[in-house]
Amino acid sequence: MSEGAKERMSVKEQLDLSGRVALITGGSRGLGLAMAEGLAEMGARIAITARKKDELEEAKAHLRTLGIDALTIVSDLSKPETIAPMVETVISSLGHIDILINNAGNTWGAPAEKHPLEAWKKVIDLNLTGTFLVTQEVGVRSMIPRKYGRIVNIASIAGLKGALPEDLTAIGYHTSKGGLVNFTRALAGEWGQHGIVVNAICPGFIPSKMSRGVLGQIADKVIAKTPLHQLGLERDLQSLAVLLSSEGARHITGQIIAVDGGLTAV
């Protein structure tokens, strides 16, 4: 396609993901599964990975009810040795990887002065190191050689701000997500030369399996402080994930976008 033709693309054409292959880590439930649905709706072929085989099977069955045939791979991204085989499975099955949604993550709640080292390592190893290794493998194996890629890192507003102890004590999670924010900027700077755009989404408080405990304590307070006076929904990330995965993001890179009802704006 010529540059002139690209400039004349309609909005629908820019957001069309037909022919693209997307890998979503932590894609068996919650935000990851919602984003997989959104990308597939726009035409992408989908691969999802997660630690638990039963949750992946449930996700695959759910997606099938929507007419989506997803490739599923069991992989624990906190274990570096599982990453290259997982990426190889996606490439050998689907040909290449155009879109990488780095969504896998975990948290641990404890006051900083009592936070166990083992728990710190567990959070950092998955949220930050695992994300780096998956991205490196996908970049080397598929995106850099093909001079094309869309990488979307799912960070958090916890990576943009701290918290009072009565609201949240999760310093490892805050640190990992803050690292992911600047990982996004640094990688955008390095890999722009390869035609790869890298952006991050920072969700606010969205009810999920991981956030259920803390929201049970502070949901009313969060809603009161949020300009839109509401919690987020899983679907609130879908259209943004589609945009950042599409031709519509060709000139958007290194950006950190909060989806939080305005909580970090005030």
Does 148 qualify as catalytic in the annotation? no
Residue 258: helix, strand or coil by DSSP?
Answer: strand
Any bridge partners for residue 151, and if so which?
A: 100, 198
Size (the chain), residues: 266
What is d(CA 28, CA 208) in angstroms, rounded to the nearest whole number?
Answer: 13
Cα dihedral: 190, 174, 150, 13 (round 10): -140
* Token pair for 125: 């190893």
- Catalytic residue (choose from 73, 173, 234, 236): 173
How would you class 210 by CB atoms within 10 Å of its CB: exposed for 0-12, middle for 13-18, buried for 19 or more?
Answer: middle
- Cα(102)–Cα(175) distance, integer angstroms: 17
> Which pairing describes strands 70-74 and 45-50: parallel, antiparallel, or unpaired?
parallel
Residues with catalytic roles: 173
